[in-house]
Amino acid sequence: MLMPVTIKAIFAKGQVKLEEPAPTTETVEVTVTFPDIERQLGENEIKFGSLSGKITLPSNFDDESNEMNELFN
């Protein structure tokens, strides 16, 4: 089973320097994540949490619905 592997690295002067051995010597596509960095969002991007408090669920959201009972009974 293939699983993603995370290793520590430093980004400086446009280069990524691994701080741990890479899990492979093969040529593979990687994804680099920069934690805790603020950046300008693109025109079509949504900031995480920007809809907080703007979407609500009814208080009976988890209640069994008569419509669902009719479908499954």
Task: Write down the pLDDT at residue 66.
Answer: 63
Q: Per residue in 9-63, pLDDT tens?
A: 999 999 999 999 999 999 999 999 888 777 777 888 887 888 888 888 888 877 7
Task: Write down the pLDDT at residue 8.
Answer: 93
Residue 22 lies in a domain: yes
Residue 3 lies in a domain: yes
The candidate with the shortest Cα–Cα distance to 33, out of 67, 61, 52, 7, is 7
Task: Write down the pLDDT at residue 61.
Answer: 77
In order of 11, 18, 33, the CA distances from 15 in angstroms are 6, 10, 14
Task: Write down the pLDDT at residue 20.
Answer: 95
Residue 65 lies in a domain: no
Residue 57 lies in a domain: no
Residue 44 lies in a domain: no
Residue 27 lies in a domain: yes
pLDDT band at 67 (very low <50, low <70, confident <90, very high): low
Total structural domains in the chain?
1
Residue 11 lies in a domain: yes
